[in-house]
Amino acid sequence: MLEYSDQIEELTKFMKVQIDDFLNYMEVEKGASPNTIVAYRNDLHQLMEFLSPKILPLNGNTNWLALDSTLLSQYVIFLEERAYSETTRARKIASVKSLLKYLIKEELIPGQSADNLASPKVGRGLPKSLSPDEMDRLLEETSKSNTPDALRDKAMIEILYASGMRVSEMVSLNIGDINLREGYLRCFGKGSRERILPIHDSAIKALSQYLKIARPNLDNNPLNKALFLNVRGDRLTRQGFWLILKLYATRTNIKSKITPHIIRHSFATHLLRGGAPLRHVQELLGHASITTTQVYTHLASEHMREEYNKAHPRAH
C-alpha cells in the first residue's frame, strides 16, 4: 500500500495528464488562444491541488469519478473564501465546467457535469474609455520626438486606436500583414480567425515613417518578419508595449486609467458615438458573437436618440 504522500503524488500525476489532454484539445480543436490556455492551466492546477487530498484513498482507481457535486460546491466555497473577484471566480468555474464536459465527451466520467456549479453573476458594465481629447493628447505626446523608439511608439498607439485590435494581435503583426497603399492590415484574432481592418491616414502616415526611418535602426536581422521590434531587434512583447504605454500615460498626466484594452474600448465607443452600426463594430473588434459587443448597446441608443431629436420636428 502506497504511503499517503505517494498516493497524492500518483493521483496528481494522473490528473495532470488529463488536464494536459484537455488543454491540447482546447488549443488544437477549439482554437483557444495561448492566453486562455495559460489561464485554464493555472485554474485547473489549483482545482487539482484542492481535490487531490480530498478524493483519497481511491483503492487504485485514480480518476475523476470521485469528483461529485459536494466536492464541487466545496471548491466554490474555497474560491469565495480567498476573496477572488467575481470575474476571476466566474472564469475559474468556467474552466472546471469545460474540463468536465471534455471528460464526459471522452467517456472518462459518466454524464454528470458541473452545470449546476454556481457561477457568480458578473456585471457587464460599460468599459471605461478615453475621451477623443485624451486620445489626441496621448498621440501628441508620442510626436514630441523623432527617435526610432518614439516613431515606433506613435505607430503602435495609432494602429491600436485606428483598428481596435487587441494588443496581442498588434504585437503578432508581421510586415507582410500591412498594406499601406490600400490602407488596411490583416490580423489573426482568437481562434486564429483572420480579419481585414481598415486604417485611417494618420495611422498610415505613422506606420510609413516607422517602416522607413525607425525599423531599419532597430532591426539587426534581415530575416525578421515582425513588424514592431524592441531595442534588441526582437519582436516586441505585450508586456513591453504595456510598459511603453504606461510611460506615455504618465507623461500626459491624463487622470483616466490607460491600458491597451482601454484604447480598444475607446475605439469602439468613439465609433458608436459617431454613428457606426453595432454589427460593424462587432466585426472590427473580432467578437465571434454580437452578445459580446452588446455591452456598448446603450451608446448606439444614445446616438439614435440624438439623431432623432435633431431630425424630428416635434422634438425641439
At 195, is the secondary structure helix, strand, or coil?
strand
Contact (Cβ atoms closer than 8 angstroms) between residue 303 and residue 275: yes
At 133, is the secondary structure helix, strand, or coil?
helix
Round to whole Å and give the CA distance between 23 and 40.
8
Catalytic-labelled residue, pool 166, 215, 265, 270: 166
Query: What nine digits make up the cell of 14?
Result: 494522473
Q: Is 102 a catalytic residue?
A: no
Catalytic-labelled residue, pool 190, 195, 235, 273: 190
3-state SS of 259-302? CHHHHHHHHHHHHHHCCCCHHHHHHHHCCCCHHHHHHHHHHHHH
Q: 42 Cβ partners below 8 Å, 6+ apart? A: none
Neighbours of 258 (CB within 10 A): 22
Catalytic-labelled residue, pool 41, 186, 195, 261: 261
Dihedral sign for Cα atoms in the order 124, 125, 126, 127: negative
Neighbours of 278 (CB within 10 A): 17
Catalytic-labelled residue, pool 195, 235, 287, 303: 287
Round to whole Å and give the CA distance between 164 and 293.
13
Residue 184, φ and ψ in degrees, nearest 5: -150, 165
Nearest to 53 by CA among 10, 23, 83, 95: 10
Residue 204: half-sphere exposure toward Cβ, Cα within 13 Å: 12
Furthest CA-CA distance within the chain: 87
Catalytic-labelled residue, pool 40, 210, 248, 296: 296
Q: Is 261 a catalytic residue?
A: yes
Catalytic-labelled residue, pool 92, 152, 264, 265: 264
Round to whole Å and give the CA distance between 75 and 77.
5
Residues labelled as active-site residues: 166, 190, 261, 264, 287, 296
